[in-house]
């Protein structure tokens, strides 16, 4: 990447980039269906190449597909680039402006705390709790199989990840897996789709007119914030009544930092990070596992292979017995990784430069909107051989495949650079735990035509549904 000072003469302008045909005044706004945004951008990338631009009224948005450029930008965050600026005020309004959206000096101290909380040693120490939560999920699915019920996997998996994240990071287990209605996950589920709508809205209409969906979001936010503040209050009581030499989990660490003189941390910032972790833990991992079921259900031979692998590790147990044994379940994480290559939950990354830059021969003034599409690179034969084929073994190879046939640098589901996803280790553990439990104990079949399941942009890329029939396996 060249800076503007050294490359002004050689750089083209954003206006020189190809652009899909739009309408006067509104540009391409009418073509940007919020629930299909990533699909629309991918189609334009096929037609126009990369980079291209589209227009939201008078504002140009540049779109890129080069993973090396995306990684370079990620490495220069948060000093030279930031996330799409409209994200921060929207998250601030609903009380979730935590680590995900924090920029500048506010980012570093929050990052350190959360990275420590989600580190491998902490996850390993928490494994008995993870195992217990996975056993609850097993019992829920066992009951569904016995009664012939269709399981909506996205709902159950989100309950599971909410329980895990709450217990690990906040010291409280809401046990949503054991309840049918009135759980916090029902309110959390409304937030991401509305975030997507508001971040990409041409103007903040909700500040002037509340639509029914905005009023529904407001009601859910009241319940979510009541839940978060109550959890913070209970944590403070435990810290007072049962003092410990060191914080027992992330919430206690954040509250201790909040109470340190001169910390500059407020209760609102603590609450924002609690909610950010609940949302991130609930959505991304759950949908990654759900998408994997689409491929597993379609491949009986893979199901049998996964069953054999799981039973070889679990023996007669319903759930992986210990953290060490997880290392033998590489195939299950490979299935999720390959799923993420074809169905990326993080389909679009958004950035903007903090200063004028010349990127790939394009002059980008400070504040220029930039979208990076993740899937085109993973479907490029230069990066992955037979790119349309679902092949988990490509992630288990011994290095014998040519580098051009398998380039993991093109896979950016967890990001890169200083702001790489802090929850990637927990996600890997959850993927191995849940899928090995599922495959060891059940065979699965889709309850609808797989072709009817659509990709939906809802901040992350989620399945429209994932209804599955479970059949208990005999010993």
pLDDT digits (tens, 9 = 90+) for 298-313: 999 999 999 999 999 9
CB atoms within 10 A of CB 324: 10
Residue 332, judged by CB atoms within 10 A of its CB (0-12, 13-18, 19+), counts as buried
335 closest CA partner among 432, 246, 472, 238: 432
Burial profile 366-399: b = 16 or more Cβ within 10 angstroms, e = fewer: eebbbbbbbbbbbeeeebbeebeebbbebbeeee
Distance between CA 168 and CA 204 in Å, rounded?
Answer: 36
Min mean pLDDT across 78-82, 96-100, 168-172, 323-327 is at 96-100
* Total number of domains in the chain: 1
DSSP one-letter code for 338: H
Cβ contact 444:434 at 8 Å: no
CATH number of the domain where residue 333 is located:
1.10.630.10
422 closest CA partner among 138, 169, 57: 169
CB atoms within 10 A of CB 137: 21
What pLDDT digit, counting tens, does each position of 446-457 carry?
999 999 999 999
CB atoms within 10 A of CB 448: 13
The confidence score (pLDDT) of residue 82 equals: 86
Residue 68, judged by CB atoms within 10 A of its CB (0-12, 13-18, 19+), counts as exposed
400: pLDDT strictly greater than 70: no
DSSP one-letter code for 451: G
Question: Taking the model in full, what pTM does it have?
Answer: 0.87
CB atoms within 10 A of CB 178: 12
Distance between CA 339 and CA 333 in Å, rounded?
Answer: 10
6: pLDDT strictly greater than 50: no
**DSSP secondary structure, 147-216, as one string:** TTPEEEHHHHHHHHHHHHHHHHHHS----GGG-SSS-HHHHHTTHHHHHHHHHT-SS-GGGT---HHHHH
* pLDDT confidence bin for 445, thresholds 50/70/90: very high
Domain, as residue range, for 285: 2-472
- State the DSSP H helix or E strand holding residue 371, giving kind and residue range, or none if neither: strand 369-373
Tokens 């049998």 label which residue? 304
29: pLDDT strictly greater than 80: yes
Distance between CA 159 and CA 165 in Å, rounded?
Answer: 10
Q: How far is CA 104 from CA 72, 107, 111, 224, 273, in A?
A: 18, 6, 12, 27, 16
In the structure encoding, which two tokens stand for residue 133, read together? 């939560």
* pLDDT confidence bin for 5, thresholds 50/70/90: very low
Burial profile 400-435: b = 16 or more Cβ within 10 angstroms, e = fewer: eeeeeebbeebbbbbbbeebebbbebbbbbbbbbbb
What pLDDT digit, counting tens, does each position of 196-225 carry?
788 777 788 999 999 999 999 999 999 989
| Phi-psi group of 282: left, alpha or beta (phi > 0 → left; psi -120 to 50 → alpha; rest → beta) | alpha
């Amino acid at each position: 990447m060249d800076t503007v000072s050294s490359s002004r003469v050689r750089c083209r302008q954003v206006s020189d980039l190809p652009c899909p045909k739009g309408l006067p005044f509104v540009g391409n706004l009418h073509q940007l269906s919020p629930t299909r945004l990533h699909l629309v951008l991918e189609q334009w990338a096929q037609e126009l190449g990369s980079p291209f631009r589209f227009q939201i009224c008078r504002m140009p948005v540049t779109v890129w597909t080069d993973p090396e450029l995306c990684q370079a930008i990620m490495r220069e965050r948060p000093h030279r680039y930031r996330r799409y600026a409209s994200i921060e005020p929207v998250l601030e309004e609903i009380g979730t402006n935590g680590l995900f959206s924090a920029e500048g000096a506010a980012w570093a101290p929050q990052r350190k705390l959360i990275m420590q909380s989600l580190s491998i040693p902490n996850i390993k120490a928490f494994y008995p709790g993870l195992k217990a939560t996975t056993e609850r999920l097993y019992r829920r699915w066992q009951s569904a199989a016995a009664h012939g019920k269709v399981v909506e996997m996205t709902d159950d998996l989100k309950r599971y990840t909410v329980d895990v994240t709450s217990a690990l990071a906040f010291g409280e287990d809401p046990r949503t897996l054991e309840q049918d209605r009135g759980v916090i996950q029902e309110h959390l589920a409304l937030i991401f789709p509305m975030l997507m709508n508001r971040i990409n809205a041409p103007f903040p209409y909700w500040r002037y007119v509340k639509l029914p969906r905005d009023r529904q979001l407001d009601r859910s936010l009241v319940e979510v914030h009541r839940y978060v503040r109550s959890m913070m209050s209970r944590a403070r009581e435990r810290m007072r009544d049962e003092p410990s030499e060191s914080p027992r989990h992330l919430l206690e660490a954040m509250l201790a930092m909040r109470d340190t003189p001169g910390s500059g941390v407020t209760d609102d910032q603590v609450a924002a990070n609690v909610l950010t972790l609940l949302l991130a833990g609930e959505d991304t991992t759950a949908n990654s596992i759900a998408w994997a079921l689409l491929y597993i259900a379609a491949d009986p031979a893979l199901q049998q292979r996964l069953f054999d692998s799981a039973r070889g590790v679990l023996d007669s147990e319903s759930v992986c017995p210990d953290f060490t044994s997880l290392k033998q379940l590489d195939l299950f994480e490979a299935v999720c990784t390959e799923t993420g290559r074809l169905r990326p939950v993080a389909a679009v990354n958004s950035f903007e430069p903090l200063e004028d830059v010349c990127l790939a021969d394009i002059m980008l003034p400070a504040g220029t909107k930039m979208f990076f599409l993740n899937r085109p690179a993973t479907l490029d034969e230069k990066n992955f051989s037979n790119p349309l084929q679902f092949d988990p073994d490509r992630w288990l190879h011994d290095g014998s495949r040519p580098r051009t046939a398998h380039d993991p640098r093109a896979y950016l589901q967890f990001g890169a650079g200083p702001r790489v996803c802090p929850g990637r280790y927990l996600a890997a553990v959850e993927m191995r735990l849940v899928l090995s439990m599922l495959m060891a104990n059940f065979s699965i079949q889709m309850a609808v035509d797989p072709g009817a399941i659509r990709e939906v942009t809802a901040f992350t890329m989620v399945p429209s549904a994932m209804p599955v029939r479970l059949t208990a396996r005999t010993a």
